A and B are shown apart, each in its own frame.
Chain A
Amino acid sequence: MQGGVASDMRSFLPIMTVLGVIVLIWYAAVAPMNIRGALDVAERGGADVVPPESRARFEQPVWRLMVDNPQHIAAGYALDRPRLPTPQQVGQELWKTTGEMALKGRAMSKRSLLYHGWITLQSTLWGFALGTALGMAGAIAIVYSRVVDMSLMPWAIISQTVPIVALAPMIIVLSSQVGIEGRGVPKAIISAYLCYFPVLVGMVKGLRSPASAQLDLLKTYSASSLQGFLKLRLPASMPYFFTSLKIGIAAALVGTIVGELPTGAISGLGARILIGDQFGTPLAIWAALFAAAILAGALVTLLDLMQRVTLRRMGMQA
C-alpha cells in the first residue's frame, strides 16, 4: 500500500497471476458444486440421468455423479439458482443491477444495487464521521488526562471484544422504542461502534509521537498547550491519522452491513443479502457481496489518495 509506483508495477504481474489462479479454481469448483442442481433440472426436463431418482443421487458423492453424467456438467455453469455461480454469472448480475439500470435511467430504482449501495454508503459515512469524532475526542482526552487514560482505555479494549452483532438487534430495538424513525441512525451507531476504536488507538499513538525534545522546545517558546496541540501534536499525528482512517472506514462498512443483516432491513446491501437468502436467489447475494467489496475498495483507495496528497503537501512523504 505504501510503496511507490515502481513497486506497484513490480507487483502487478504476481497479483494478476494469483487472481487468475483464484478465478480458475472458482470455475473448476463450479462443476462439483452444481452437479446435483444440474442433474435435478435435467431430470425434470426428461433427460437420462444416472441414477434416475433424486434420492439415490443424494447418497452418491459428487465425483461419482460427474463421472456417470459427463454430458450434464456443462449445465451446472448456467443454472438459474446455482449453489456456486460462475464469476461470469456474478458479473452479469452485477451489471444488470447497476450499469444496465442506470442506462435505462432507473439507477435509483428499488431493484438497483446503486440505490442499495447508496443507502449503505450513507450509513457508513455517518457512522464513520461519528466514530472518527468520538475516537478523536477520546484520544485527545486520553493524551491530556491521566484519569481518562487509566479508566477509559481498558474499557475501550473490552468494548471491541464484545461481539457487536450481539448488540446490534438491541440497538435497533432501543432506538425504535425511543422514537427514532428509520434504520439510518441505529446502523450508523453500530458502524461508529466498530469504527471509533482504530481511530482512538491510532490517534493516541499519533498524538504521543512527538519526542519530548520537541515538546520542550515548544515550552521554551512559551507556547500554550492549545498551540502545542495545534502546531506540534496534531501535525505529527497525521500519518497515524490516515492509517487509522483507512482501517476505520472498512470497519464502518462492516458495521453497517452487520446492522442491516440480522434485523429485517429492507434497503441497503446487507438487506439485499438477507432478502436474497430468504427468496433463494443466490445470484442476488453474490452481486450484493461484490458490490460491498467494490464499495470497500473504493472508500479505502479514496482515503489512501487523500493521505498521499495531504502528507506530500505537509512535507511528510508517505
Chain B
Amino acid sequence: MSWLIFALVFWLGAWALNAFLASSAWRGSLLVRIAIPVLFGVSLIVLWEGIVRAFGVSPVILPAPSTVAATFAASTDILWEDFQQTVLKGALSGFVIGVVAAFATAILIDRSAFLTRGLLPIGKFVAALPIVGIAPILVSWFGFDWHSKAAVVVVMVFFPILVNTVQGLRETDAMQRDLMHTYAAGYLDSLIKLRLPAALPFVFNGLKIATTLALIGAIVAEYFGSPTRGMGFRISTGVGSLSIDLVWAEIVVAAMAGTAFYGLVAFIEKRVTFWHPSHRTPT
C-alpha cells in the first residue's frame, strides 16, 4: 500500500510543482517549458509503477515500467534487429518513395488546372479512407519481406502529401506571380523561386502526417505475414506467448522511433520555413 501512497503523493507533488512553475516568473523560459511536460510524464510513470506494485498486478496483464526497462536493456539486440527491419527498411524506404512520387505527381498535375480540379477532391477523399486495409492485398502481391511493407507505406503516405503539395502550390497570390512575370521569369524559375518555397509549409504539414502513417503502415503490414523479425511480428507473437514485457519494450521503441521521426521533420521544417508566421518568435 505504501507504494500507492508514495506514487500518489509524488504525482500530486509534481502537479503542484508544475502549477507553481507555470505561474512563476520563469514560465517563458525554455527550461521550464521542457521541465513541465517531462515532470508530468515522469509522474505518470511513477503512478503506473505504484499501482502495479501496490495491487500486485500480474506481469502478464500489465508489467511495471521497471520490468519493461529491464527487458528493454536485456534484449537490445532483438529490438535493434526489429527496428532495422520495420523502421529502416519498411517504413523509411516506403516513406521516401511515397514522398518523392507524391511530390512529382503534384508538380505534374499542377500544370493543368483541369487535372487539379479533378484530382484534389479525389485525393482528399482517399486521404480520409482507412487505407491500412489494403495491407493484406499488398503483402500477397509483394511477398513477406520488407518490400510489401514499403509498398503499404507508399500508398498510405502518397495522398496526404499529394493533397497538401497541390494546395500549397496554389498558395501564391496574383501580385507575387505578376511580379515574377515582370522579372521575365519562366515557368521553371517561378516554380523554384516562388511557388515551391510558398508551398513548403503545406508540404511539411503533409510530411508530418505521413511520418505517423508510415510507422502504422509498416507495423500493420507485418501482422499479415513477415519474416521472423520486425516490430509487428514481435508484438503479435509476444501477445500470443504472453511475453508482455517484450511487447511493451517494442512499444517503447515504436514510440521513440515515431517521436524521433516526427521531431526530425518538425526540426527541418523550422529550419527551412523560418519565414512563415507560425514559426516567427513573438516579440
A151 x B212 contact (CB < 8 A): no
B49 within 8 A of A: no
Given A83-B141, A161-B255, A169-B239, residue A277 in contact with residue B18 (CB < 8 A): no
A292 x B37 contact (CB < 8 A): no
The number of residue pairs between A and B whose CB atoms lie closer than 8 Å in the complex comes to 165
Across the interface, A167 reaches (CB within 8 A) one of B27, B118, B251, namely B251
Q: Which residues of B contact A274 (CB under 8 A)?
A: 136
A153, A277, A296 pick with most chain B CB within 10 angstroms: A277
The 8 closest A-B pairs by CB, nearest first: A14-B118, A18-B118, A277-B136, A151-B40, A262-B223, A161-B258, A250-B128, A154-B37
Across the interface, A147 reaches (CB within 8 A) one of B19, B115, B116, B136, namely B19
B62 x A174 contact (CB < 8 A): yes
B130 x A257 contact (CB < 8 A): yes
B39, B239, B261 pick with most chain A CB within 10 angstroms: B239
Across the interface, A293 reaches (CB within 8 A) one of B15, B129, B232, B239, namely B129
Complex Cα distance, B62 from A1, in Å, reads 45
Across the interface, B118 reaches (CB within 8 A) one of A11, A158, A292, namely A11
Across the interface, A169 reaches (CB within 8 A) one of B61, B139, B235, namely B235
Complex Cα distance, B135 from A269, in Å, reads 14
B132 x A257 contact (CB < 8 A): yes
Q: Mark A285-316, 1 if CB is under 8 A from B, else 0.
A: 11011001100110010000000000000000
A19 x B130 contact (CB < 8 A): no
Among B69-77, B180-188, B213-221, B267-275, the one that faces the other chain is B213-221
Q: Give the contacts of B41-71 with A (CB-CB under 8 A).
A: 41, 60-62
Q: Give the contacts of A163-188 with B (CB-CB under 8 A).
A: 163-167, 169-170, 173-174, 177-178
Q: Which residues of A contact B212 (CB under 8 A)?
A: 160-161, 163
B119 within 8 A of A: yes
B115 x A14 contact (CB < 8 A): yes
Q: Which residues of A contact B136 (CB under 8 A)?
A: 273-274, 276-277, 285
B5 within 8 A of A: no
Number of interface residues of B (CB under 8 A): 61
Q: Which residues of A contact B250 (CB under 8 A)?
A: 166
A202 within 8 A of B: no
Complex Cα distance, B60 from A178, in Å, reads 12
A261 x B135 contact (CB < 8 A): yes
Across the interface, A165 reaches (CB within 8 A) one of B124, B220, B262, namely B220
A162 within 8 A of B: yes
A163 x B40 contact (CB < 8 A): no
B108 within 8 A of A: no
Complex Cα distance, B39 from A261, in Å, reads 36
Q: Which residues of B contact A257 (CB under 8 A)?
A: 130, 132-133
Complex Cα distance, B127 from A297, in Å, reads 11
Q: Give the contacts of A207-253 with B (CB-CB under 8 A).
A: 247, 250, 253
Q: Which residues of B contact A165 (CB under 8 A)?
A: 132, 216, 219-220, 223, 232
B37 x A151 contact (CB < 8 A): yes
Number of interface residues of A (CB under 8 A): 61
A170 x B248 contact (CB < 8 A): yes
B118 x A166 contact (CB < 8 A): no
In addition to A1-B121, A15-B118, 17 A-B residue pairs with Cβ atoms within 8 Å of each other are A11-B117, A14-B119, A22-B122, A152-B37, A161-B255, A161-B258, A161-B262, A166-B251, A167-B251, A173-B239, A261-B223, A277-B224, A282-B140, A289-B133, A289-B134, A296-B130, A297-B125
B15 x A166 contact (CB < 8 A): no
A203 within 8 A of B: no
B128 x A155 contact (CB < 8 A): no
B61 x A177 contact (CB < 8 A): yes
Complex Cα distance, B132 from A254, in Å, reads 8
A104 within 8 A of B: no
B247 x A169 contact (CB < 8 A): yes
B137 within 8 A of A: yes
Q: Which residues of A contact B251 (CB under 8 A)?
A: 162, 166-167, 170
24 A-B pairs within 8 Å (CB atoms) are namely A14-B116, A14-B119, A18-B122, A147-B19, A150-B18, A151-B36, A151-B40, A152-B40, A157-B262, A163-B215, A165-B220, A166-B231, A166-B251, A166-B254, A167-B251, A170-B248, A178-B61, A250-B128, A257-B133, A258-B130, A261-B132, A261-B135, A292-B129, A296-B129
